[in-house]
Structure 1
């Protein structure tokens, strides 16, 4: 097994760990009356992210893509940084982090950690990883295809999240009732 295949398998294992966290957090949220938004686009998101990981393995093999150190090492650094940002988001949101859009009523927005700087930092991690992970082993078709499809999906997802979080924004406004 190549080192790149090991990397993709480790990222896949990380995804399963995310799903376990999301499942636990989903139970926490639902017990507090959470409502799910945008459930219709969730299967598309799962399929796209699965295709990213598969493409990372298949394209270098089928197209005999080489590892190019000047591209691969910086791409690996970016992919690892994206993982760090993702887990910073997960840690900051705690039980409020999900792979689905689950909103617990009457909770203010989280404005600490990476959310102090960006409204949707986890999606920055997704975008960076979607480009960088395939490029570690020159899988540029996978990087491009994922990025284009992900841009369309994120437009829907972010619109959905912003709409779902609008009431929470009013709770986070200065002078809002606790």
Structure 2
């Protein structure tokens, strides 16, 4: 099997992981809304979906059409970072439990989570997204996809984190 085909399998697996996230997110959204959850920041959500979908598509397009080669020292290191990012992502999801969502939904009266990875950082999942967005394309030397995602994601996270912080502080006030 070619390195491009194996990379395609990796991207498909990451895509399936994203589908699993969306299933958990929908379940948690229903839980939150049933308890009076308030959603904010809806305007940036479609942009976030587009950027994250674009990452997966961009990885494949660049690997196949730009004929990027697999560089073992880079590829294996980046694959290890991709796997690590998945582990930390699901640690975040597990730590937040029903409060985790791909959308910004806050249930009034619930305390802020300060355990798990949230002991160390206020937004560890966003660090994971940054790491994965850089590492995933570089598994197969797709540096353009890595650069485009990194810049787009940085702009998105500026908006996303502000929206989330406002929502969390509004409920805590």
TM bucket by the smaller chain? over 0.9
Determine the C-alpha separation between the residues in 2 that align with 1:7 and 1:102: 31
Does 2:89 align with 1:86? yes
Name which of 59, 70, 74 aligns with 1:67: 70
TM-score (norm 1): 0.93
Deviation at 1:70, TM superposition (A): 1.0
Deviation at 1:118, TM superposition (A): 0.3
Residue pairs, 1:8-19, within 5 angstroms = 8-19=11-22
Give the unaligned 5+ runs of structure 2.
none
Does 2:109 align with 1:127? no
Contact residue 109 and residue 168 of structure 1 kept, 8 A = no
CA RMSD of aligned residues (A): 1.0
Give the unaligned 5+ runs of structure 1.
171-178
Contact residue 36 and residue 108 of structure 2 kept, 8 A = yes
Q: Secondary structure at the match of 1:147?
A: helix
Residues 48-94 of structure 1: per-residue CA shift (max 9 Å, x gap): 00000001111011100000001100000011111111000000000
Corresponding residue of 2:30: 27
Q: Secondary structure at the match of 2:161?
A: helix
